[in-house]
Chains A and B, each alone.
Chain A
Amino acid sequence: MAKKAAPSRRQLAMVFDLNKCLGCQTCSLACKTAWTTRAGMEHQWWNIVNTFPGRGTPRDVFTHGGGYTKKGEPIPGDFPGKRLWGEAWDFDYEGVFGSNRDEPIPLHPREHDGAAPQWGPNWDEDMGGGEYPNSYFFYLQQICMNCSEPACVEACPRESVYKREEDGIVLIDEERCHGYRFCAEACPYKRIYFNEQRNVAQKCISCFPRLEAGVAPACIRQCPGRVRHIDYLDNVDGHIYKLVKKWKVALPLRPDFGVEPNVYYVPPTSPLAFKDNGEFDDLNSRIPMEYLKEMFGPGVEQALATIEAEREKVAAGKKSELMDILISRNWNDLLGPFTVDPAQLQRQPVR
């Protein structure tokens, strides 16, 4: 394996429960307002939520290469142009405000040169897959995966991208970065952005200044759906360990990319499919198992069976540790050791 990142002493990990996400993008906005409002970052969405099956952001997100082969060889990737991500569009406000009832001008987004956008974040929202009555979709949240075999770290010839020893967070040192963008090519999840104005690569930083103050990342703390859990992977009493290692219902996204991501997903359950005659198909759910295996690996079948069985248990009036974790009646339980309320912190002056 071509790798440079030394294993971290501990690994911070997250679990996103795809069965609870309502696609409200509060996480995206929480991140946006916290981190990507400065010059050259207007188009950056370090946290992004797309409908799947779908083409993702950038367009056809999982087809741009990067990651490793089974033998540990780096896979060449590309870094799609900004139109495939969606620029920070402008809007024809003047036309809209100047229009009248007889000749209405609808609000149109415009790219920097006035062209109509062809793609953007969550562009194919709620289109999903399948044919009625077996249509289906789910929302997929993506941030930096803080991989255990980070292809971005290996790809950088300047060692500007590094994995923190204390918690395994992957960061880009903007002082060292010369804007070569090999990291963005090598990331199979395409979670690295480029700041043209400053000629540096930028990405999700796991809200490390918040973590260091005991505060959960903004996307996690502000999620109204209680989708996101965070903790150290080695905390056997924590949600992450229990969901990933004990119950094995939280799975890596596209494990075939070979980078060992540390964001795990509880795969989407779905109702039974309809047969042609309108009866329930007792053997198949609406989301095809082949698709789920492609997304979450071979463990997905057992994970879904476990979730189903534990749901049945609760429906029969019994207790289920797994369901208690997934429901998280006490909101702070999602946050692992990061339960400090940021409103209680003394604010540091902005540099």
Chain B
Amino acid sequence: MTAVTASKTSGTVEDLRSPRAAAWKNAAEVKLPLQPTPLDAQPSAYVQKAWANRERGNVPSVAVRALSVGDQLVLRLEWAAPDPRRLINDNDVYADACAVIFPSNGKDAELSTMGSPERPVTTWYWRAGAPGPFLATATGLGTVSRAAKHGLQATGEWQAGFWNVVIAGPAKSTRIGVAVWSGVSGERAGLKSHTPAWHDLKVG
């Protein structure tokens, strides 16, 4: 399984906020393959039925670069979105989004169930057009609970068919997962492309 390595870098998170910041050019890029989340695990019979014949989870991969600044882990996620949805501006419009996920204990948790009461997961969630990122924890499917204070920073830019999102926060974890939601496909909640297993996270 491909590992994500965050090299230590000098400077501040602010220097890395732009996906086009010079420091990103030298950061190693790993491509993590994504898969659709299993439909039969969705915690709603309605969702399972309504999505049985709908296209979903078709973002094939996400390119991840990682840097570490002090106690901050800074990630740059890049994925293809030929027809972006930048804003929720109607009843039937869903915005593109991404999230990174960690075992809350830094070591292990069940990824396919979004954690369990004994071993929760922590996620950093970014959505196009939203006022800011969310920090959330989950103890199972459908239990994502957003924290009132998050200490995260995020910037997203869409250019020439790709989203580039930089998201930064304090992280002490040895494993990481990624998820991407395609707005044009109506993806939200558990309907997404995701890394089906943890990837090792090495902070240099």
Contact = CB atoms under 8 A, between A and B. Distances in A.
Interface of A: 2, 73-82, 85, 151, 154-159, 178-182, 184-186, 194, 196, 199
26 contacts: A2-B45, A73-B45, A73-B49, A74-B45, A74-B46, A74-B49, A75-B49, A76-B46, A78-B92, A79-B92, A80-B91, A81-B90, A82-B90, A154-B44, A154-B46, A155-B47, A157-B43, A157-B142, A157-B189, A158-B142, A158-B144, A158-B189, A180-B189, A182-B46, A182-B189, A196-B88
Nearest to B145: A176
Contacts of B49: 2, 73-76
Give chain B's interface residue range (CB within 8 Å of chain A).
20 to 34
Interface of B: 42-47, 49-50, 88-93, 130, 141-144, 188-190
Q: Is chain B's interface secondary structure helix, strand, loop, or mixed overall?
A: loop
A13 to B, nearest CB: 24
B90 A155 contact: no
A224 to B, nearest CB: 32
Contacts of A185: 46, 50
B189 A155 contact: no
A157 B90 contact: no
A81 B94 CA distance: 12
Given A85-B91, A157-B42, A178-B189, 6 more contacts: A73-B49, A74-B50, A76-B49, A154-B44, A157-B44, A199-B88
Contact of A182 (B47, B88, B90): B47
Contacts of A77: 50
B145 to A, nearest CB: 8
B171 to A, nearest CB: 23
Contacts of B44: 154-157, 182
Nearest to A2: B45
A180 B46 contact: no
A2 B46 contact: yes
Contacts of B90: 81-82, 196
Give the residue among A73, A76, A79, A199 with the most B Cβ atoms within 10 A. Answer: A76
